[in-house]
Amino acid sequence: MLENNSVGIVAPQIAHFNSPLQLKGGEVLTQYHLVYETYGKLNKNKSNAVFVCHALSGNHHLAGKYSADDRHTGWWDNLIGPGKPLDTNKFFVVGINNLGGCHGSSGPLSINPITDKPWGATFPVVTVEDWVNAQARLADFLGVEQLAAVIGGSLGGMQALQWTLSYPDRVRNALVIASAPNLTAQNMAFNEVARQAIITDPEFHDGYYYNFGVVPRRGLRIARMLGHITYLSDDAMGAKFGRKLRDGEIKYSFEVEFEMESYLRYQGDKFAGEFDANTYLRMTRALDYFDPAAEYGGNLTSALAIAKANFLVISFTSDWRFSPNRSREIVKALLDNELSVRYAEVTAAHGHDAFLMPDKHYHDIMRGYLNMIEV
């Protein structure tokens, strides 16, 4: 059963690109493909397209189901659909799996057309700028000259921001949610620990684990457990698990004692069975490298001077991964440039994960902003 306001049954599509893509790190992708999904219809003027950029472990499957009995919907189904805040009766919404991803786009799991073997560890390190360039070509492919909006949370918000810098004339609105103008040293430190857990897993084999018929499960599992700590707030973990024992009494062992341990292990195991380690490494590096102010001596105002879009910036009070302060830095730099900016700091208990939750206040703000956009 699908709800009334679901986009319904959807199917991914694929776009192939044969013109070389110069990457920021120096390498060139001579050919590549992107997997994407669309919801709603592109209007006659081609003025209602909205690109939604995914975060670290996300993908192109934003909304709907792949079959009537699919138990899972897309990861932002609560936001996207007919009558939902990102209304598919009005907008033509596009979800894209980024380059280097593991959900169908060119990446470590895909075939390198030159060698006819999986790219694996040889797939280049990609950046937010590279992703945005690849997405712009997808816009060309779809016949869209200018996006009504680009939307993203977390690492997705960085892409939304980068769109306004790389293609200032091609995006009218940017919705930058639970994001940051760059990572702090602490953010990068968590990424480094996650990467080292993967890289030092004996089954990583310098990234060539496909050749050995294994995956660095242990490392990915640790990386994901750690990630989950940073996605939730201390308070949210306290409210959800507190110090609750799983079996009612302490066993004085290293087995699961507390509910929270069980949750982390479950999340880690699940992820390690689904996600590609080489992709995980690349996604965390894209986060590390994103820093538009770097070329401007750290001056974010100068870095954002080229932007022309209107902005909605949203942060969540309990987000300690990308705290409200980081969003305020973006807002300040946009205002310095006399751009149109709306900013909301939403009271929410869920930490960084709040951007994925159907909080009414948050969704009302999104709905209000998106309703105002003329298409």
* Binding footprint of its own copies on the chain (CB under 8 A): 24-26, 124-125, 127, 182-186, 188-190, 192-193, 195-197, 199-202, 218, 221-222, 225-226, 228-229, 232, 234, 237-238, 240-243, 250, 252-254, 257-258, 260-261, 264-265, 268, 281, 285, 288-289, 291, 294
Q: Please say whether the beta carbons of 154 and 130 come within 8 A.
A: no
Q: How far is 29 from 124, CA to CA, in rounded Å? A: 8
Least separation in angstroms between residue 109's CB and its own copies is 17
Residues belonging to the chain: 375
Rounded Cα distance, 56 and 159, in Å: 12
Distance CA 32, CA 27 (A): 13
State the Cα–Cα distance between residues 272 and 260, nearest whole angstrom: 18
Q: Cα 6 vs. chain centroid, distance in angstroms?
A: 22
Least Å distance, CB 203 to its own copies, is: 9
Strand partners, 311: 174, 341
Cβ-in-10-Å burial (0-12, 13-18, 19+) of 311 comes to: buried
200: three-class secondary structure by DSSP? coil
**Of residues 104, 83, 165, the one with CA closest to residue 132:** 165
- Per-residue b or e along 192-222, where b marks 16 or more CB atoms closer than 10 Å to that residue's CB: eebbebbeebebbbebebbeeeebbbbbbbb
CB-based burial label for 371 (10 Å; 0-12, 13-18, 19+): exposed
Q: Which residues pair with 346 in a beta bridge?
A: 316
Q: In angstroms, how far is the first alpha carbon of the chain from the final one?
A: 32
- The residues assigned a catalytic role are 154, 319, 352
Contact 53, 152 (CB under 8 A): yes
